[in-house]
Amino acid sequence: MASEDSKSFGSSFSHYFRTYSTVKKIKVHNTSVAILHRILQFVVLAYIAVYIVWLKKGYQDVQMPSGSSVIKVKGVARVSTDNSSFNSNNIKQDLWDAAEYLIPPIENNAFFIATRKTVTYDQTLSTCPSALSNKLFCNSTYKPCKKGTRPLNANGFLTGNCVRSQENKTRHVCEINAWCPEERSSLIHDYHIDLMALYQQGGLIEIQQKWKCNFDSLEVEKECFPTFTFNLLQSGSDERSPGINYRFAEKYSVNGIKYRTLTKIYGLRFIIAIRGKGRQFDIVHLFVAIGSGLGYMIIGEIICEFIFLKFHKYRNEYRRIKTKRYHLNQSKKCDDSTKVV
């Protein structure tokens, strides 16, 4: 049994590689199938003309824009400034122009606008209580202030002492060795006020510059103009990393003692992303689009062929005429050298 199966498989395998199949064209007079075939051809032609060439702009070459944008910002604004060295509400309003709130003045594809700043005056290298915002609380029985360690949320090293807080005399915090007094800041806890959090803590905003240009249009100068959309990438209400800010220090010396003024700037950073498409007529793309669509013409032939082979009442006769097997007798040179096997 296994030997017979092996011979059958070998015969089929040999026949597959020794037989060449070609298409035999037969004209069949059948009105209904012929009309169906023409309708399918018309549908394919309409698909090529309307969808591929017209709607999908298959006749045009498409290129993506590349480049950079430089934006110049002008005007004046009132910026909230608070002194971190004080404990009470000490917010005041400063009047800034572009030279002060635009930092740095020129960037490629980005710009930063300051909305608030916190200033800590007269810092010097010494020991002082940590800020309440660092949450390094301690008491007579609980002392997590391990000497020489640097907490992640503090800007100095612990001295091992538990001292009274300068911000709230009823609380005790770990003492640190750092630039004192330490910078104090408070985060916005009402995360429902997104706009206020954005002003107070800063944020990251993407400006999408979209170009949609058709260079075949007669009014290309009017149509080829960018549109802008804004996406908030990082808001001031982000619990893990609220807002955008940076710091800079101005150092000076008084009587041989080094001091510095620490300034923390909050603001909005805008990143510009250039996107879009530019289109123009190209004969090569037109021929490629038409050629790719003409490949669908075979769908009509496949459907009609399937009808004749499976559903037509004369399907057996059609199969007999359509499918024949020939063997070319190479020993004869005359034209009638073929015989039916």
In tens, the pLDDT along 52-80 reads 888 888 888 888 888 777 777 777 777 66
Residue with tokens 């020939």, as numbered in its chain: 326
pLDDT greater than 50 at residue 84: yes
> Span 76-280: which CATH code?
2.60.490.10
* Euclidean distance between CA atoms 103 and 202, whole angstroms: 13
Write down the pLDDT at residue 176: 92
Average pLDDT rounded to a whole number, residues 177-197: 63
> 52 near 293, Cβ under 8 Å?
yes
pLDDT value, residue 190: 38
Dihedral, CA atoms, 270, 272, 273, 277, nearest 10 degrees?
140
Over residues 179-199, mean pLDDT:
61
Distance CA 81, CA 117 (A): 5
In this predicted structure, what is the pLDDT of residue 187? 42
Tokens in use for 196? 């206020």
Instruction: Give me the chain's average pLDDT, please.
Output: 78
Q: Where in the chain is the domain with CATH 2.60.490.10?
A: 76-280
pLDDT reading at 279 higher than 70: yes
Residue 271 has pLDDT above 50, yes or no: yes
